[in-house]
Amino acid sequence: MKTAYIFPGQGAQFVGMGQDVYNLNEQTKVLFVKANDILGFNITDIMFSGTEEDLKQTRVTQPAIFLHSVILAKALGDDFKPAMVAGHSLGEFSALVSAGALSFEDGLRLVAKRANAMQSATEIQAGTMAAILGLEDQVVEDICQSIDEVVVAANYNCPGQLVISGSVQGVDLACEKLIAAGAKRALKLNVGGAFHSPLMEAAKQELQEAIQQVNIQAPICPIYQNFDAKPYQEPSTIKENLINQLTGPVRWTQTVENMLAAGAENFVEVGPGSVLQGLVKKVNRQIPTASATI
């Protein structure tokens, strides 16, 4: 059976996440302890017993989800046999490490740098995001392009659900126009910045050098990358797509469609939550989905 392994992004976190993986055996515990040393703070304390507010900080959330996902994948051992992998935004880094393209240490350092760069970019220029429900992608794209502010389609999550991102004024104007055009809802998200939009350019520049210098090897299976939803195994192309990811869209709908077209017979979500399984079902309700279990 061709199994597609998928890795969640920011928003999947919850207090207590990863504790079952930590307690599994000495090998998993060692990786969490190593992560505390690399990050320079005890992320395990925040993950296992911190407050929701602490866990929501970007500098904590992103490495926390990465650690939960990657260490869980490692704990699966020989049961982890992906025909293909993909991750939603941050989850792309988890997918790369789990598929052997990046080392655990390099992956965590990149994720930490990415989180800090994104946080800094939001302080340079305020921005926001909004989920648009019930409109065709093309309609959302056209309306965003008609607005004389920074606002773009950022997350193609599933048919009929597209997240837009940009300046506060741009997103507000777009929401008004999209409701008038027939959107069922235009829901402003509780996020700190305009992720996956041109307003992340400062973060992209900061992360670019680190990505270019890191050692990426060919993964054990194709990784479908957010930037264009296509499968890759060539390290230089994977790097280029990773660099473009911060200012480019997350094409998740297209990723799932392309994985299905490539023969994916079931999807296993590795990490906290089950959001991605729900999005897969919106693309094809017949396809089996599950959470990775140990």
Average pLDDT over residues 45-58: 94
Residue whose C-alpha is closest to residue 224's, from 41, 23, 4, 3: 4
Residue 85 pLDDT exceeds 90: yes
Q: Looking at residue 294, what is its pLDDT?
A: 86
| Residue 141, pLDDT score | 98
Pair 71, 24: CB distance under 8 Å: no
- Taking all residues of the chain, what is their mean pLDDT, rounded to a whole number? 96
Dist CA 190 CA 228 (whole Å): 26
Confirm if 264 and 284 have CB atoms less than 8 A apart: no
Mean pLDDT of 30-56: 96
Residue 192 confidence (pLDDT) = 76
pLDDT digits (tens, 9 = 90+) for 148-158: 999 999 999 99
36-50, 186-200, 248-262 — which is least confidently predicted?
186-200
Q: What is the pLDDT of residues 271-284, one digit of tens each?
A: 999 999 999 999 99
What are the residue numbers of the active site? 89, 196
The answer on pLDDT for 191 being more than 90 is no
- Would you identify the CATH topology of the domain 3-123+198-291? Malonyl-Coenzyme A Acyl Carrier Protein; domain 2 (3.40.366)
pLDDT band at 118 (very low <50, low <70, confident <90, very high): very high
Share of the chain above pLDDT 70, in %: 100
CA-CA distance, 237 to 242, in Å (whole number)? 9
Mean pLDDT (whole number) for 102-110: 98
Is the model's pLDDT at 89 over the cut of 90? Answer: yes
Cα distance between residue 159 and residue 69, in whole Å = 26
Domain positions in the chain are 3-123+198-291, 126-188
Strands (E), the chain: 3-7, 84-87, 128-133, 151-158, 161-166, 185-188, 223-224, 231-232, 266-269, 289-291
- The pLDDT value recorded for residue 190 is 80
User: How far is residue 99's CA from residue 79's CA, in Å, rounded to a whole number?
Assistant: 13
Q: What is the pLDDT of residue 208?
A: 96
Predicted TM-score of the model (pTM): 0.96
Q: Given this model, what pLDDT does residue 125 score? A: 87
Could you tell me which CATH number the domain at 126-188 has?
Answer: 3.30.70.250
- For position 127, what pLDDT does the model report? 94
| Total Cβ atoms within 10 A of residue 8 | 25
Q: Are strands 231-232 and 223-224 parallel, antiparallel or unpaired?
A: antiparallel
Q: What is the DSSP letter of 20?
A: H
Q: Of 182, 169, 90, 91, whose CA–CA distance to 130 is shortest? A: 169
The pLDDT of 136-162, averaged and rounded, is 97
Task: State mean pLDDT over 97-101.
Answer: 98
Mean pLDDT in residue range 158-187: 97
> Of the candidates 37, 57, 90, which has an alpha carbon nearest to the alpha carbon of residue 271?
90
Q: What average pLDDT does this structure show over 170-184?
A: 98
